[in-house]
Amino acid sequence: MFKKILLPCDGSKHSIEAAKVAADIASHHGGTVCPVVAVEYQYADSEELSGEVRDAIHARIQSRAKKALQDVAGAVKQDGSPCAEGKVIEGPAAEAILKEAEDGEYDLIVMGSRGVSLDNGYDRLIGSVTERVLHRALCPVLVIRHNANPK
């Protein structure tokens, strides 16, 4: 049923929790977890920045994306579940995730309820990216909340 599972991640604790759940689902359904990180360079590509600064920002974004992919891949593999090589996708996060889900014909998206970005101090139930994906995805979406106090 869930053979191809898309796991959007961003380095947050919610992403790690989602990775653990995705791994469990994959192991029960003979599926594979496919982690992705969406990156956007719109602010880094400003003409007001020197080429050196732009390159440094791009390198930092790529470094953080690769670290997030390594972290979730480790969580998936720790469960013994198959994990595809992580992929960095470009564009506004929700749109990039939705495009990847559709183009890759995924059976399920498993993602954290919130990411690393702050929401002007508001404690929201789900983040804006998760909300957009949840409402527009063509496949089922499972939203995982980080449990700060596991039982």
Domains of the chain in sequence order: 4-144 (3.40.50.620)
User: What backbone torsions phi and psi does residue 23 show, to the nearest 5 degrees?
Assistant: -65, -40
- Residue 149's pLDDT is what? 44
34 C-beta neighbours (distance < 10 Å), count: 23
CA dist list (Å): 12 to 9, 25, 121: 7, 20, 17
What is the C-alpha separation between 28 and 7, in angstroms, rounded? 16
Per-residue pLDDT of the chain (151 residues; tens, 9 = 90+): 899 999 999 998 899 999 999 999 999 999 999 999 999 887 766 777 787 888 888 899 999 999 999 999 999 999 899 999 999 999 999 999 999 999 999 999 999 987 655 555 555 567 889 999 999 999 999 999 877 444 4
pLDDT at 90: 94
The gap from C-alpha 21 to its chain's centroid, in whole angstroms, comes to 13
106-121 burial, b at 16+ Cβ within 10 Å, e below that, comes to bbbbbbbbbbeeeeee
d(CA 46, CA 56) in angstroms, rounded, equals 13
CA–CA distance from 73 to each of 26, 54, 62, 77, 131 (Å)? 13, 28, 16, 6, 24
Q: What is the pLDDT of residue 114?
A: 75
Q: What is the pLDDT of residue 79?
A: 83
| Count of alpha carbons within 13 angstroms of residue 81, beta-carbon side | 29
